[in-house]
Structure 1
Amino acid sequence: MPELAKFEGRWSLDRSIEDRRAGQTGRFEGDAVFDASPDGLIYREAGSLRLGQGPAMRSERRYVWREASGGIAVTFEDGRPFHRFSDTAPEALHLCGPDRYEVAYDFSGWPYWTATWTVSGPAKDYTMTSRYRR
């Protein structure tokens, strides 16, 4: 896993979504930017999201990535914990009420990397794969 500073800068972001519950697919195309801050790196993504045959819509999100012993801690923009992963275990679990969010990062093709989320819960059943490249 690269050190935190190696993420800084702009990345092209392409995301595919397979929603098994809704029986549809989705796609996000845009950019992700990691900007240095006193707290670590501010992650901002913005782009166009299309779900199924619906119209494209603007989509944005923000997180903070910080160095943590042996890995990286990711928090929501407001500071609430989201997940943490390490170089020896680039995966994490986030529980949100009855919903389960599991992520697996793959840095083996650095600087190309992926994050695959598998989400399950009473009203959720989808896999979302994000592909990042310089």
Structure 2
Amino acid sequence: MDPLRLVGTWNFRREIHDHRDGAEYTAHGTARFTRQDDGRIRWSEHGTLDWVSGSTPVSRTLFLVRDPADDERRWRVTFEDGRDFHPWTAGAVEHLCGRDLYQGGVAASEELATRWQLHWRVTGPEKDYTMRTTYLAP
């Protein structure tokens, strides 16, 4: 999936299930994908995280960058500070964060113009949860 097709504003809904204590969380908000002068795509999210006893504002910023190791035909996701996160691919990806393993990927279909998903299964000594985010065109 070409990340240039994501440029614009999307609404998102994120569902998180903590396998350790059974807690359920949902987040909802807006994701903006903005092309930067240096060719990167800034991916910023702002929203609200809700759980049974409360809610809190949440935000994050990632970047989609062309992968120079592959003649810039492929893309990678980086954290805001430039650290590598994972390849941008519709296939399965993994990211080791300390001793916790993130396994997931992007799911897109012909409906990409209106909908796509990102899912993670995170396991390790510090984390054990499933997270699925659906992005919808406004």
- Per the normalisation by structure 2, the TM-score is 0.88
Contact between 1:85 and 1:91, CA under 8 Å: does it hold in 2?
Answer: no
Higher strand share: 1
C-alpha distance in structure 1 between counterparts of 2:39 and 2:79, whole Å: 12
Contact between 1:4 and 1:67, CA under 8 Å: does it hold in 2?
Answer: no
Q: Which whole-Å deviations, capped at 9, do the CAs of 1:22-80 have from their partners, x for residues lacking one?
A: 211100010100011114100000100013x1211000000010133343200000101
Higher helix share: 2
Counterpart residue identity of residue 102, structure 1: Q
C-alpha distance in structure 2 between counterparts of 1:47 and 1:85, whole Å: 23
Q: Does 1:83 align with 2:86?
A: yes
Contact between 1:15 and 1:129, CA under 8 Å: does it hold in 2?
Answer: yes
Q: CA deviation at 1:123?
A: 2.6
Any gaps of 5 or more consecutive residues in structure 2?
none
Matches within 5 A, 1:16-27: 16-27=15-26
How well do the aligned residues superpose, as a CA RMSD in angstroms?
1.3
Q: Secondary structure of the residue that 2:54 maps to in structure 1?
A: coil
Aligned to 2:105: 104
- Per the normalisation by structure 1, the TM-score is 0.90
Counterpart residue identity of residue 91, structure 1: A
C-alpha distance in structure 2 between counterparts of 1:7 and 1:63, whole Å: 13
Matches within 5 A, 1:33-112: 33-37=32-36, 38-51=38-51, 53-68=52-67, 69=70, 70-86=73-89, 89-108=90-109, 109-111=111-113, 112=115
User: Greater shift after overlay, 33-42 or 8-17?
Assistant: 33-42
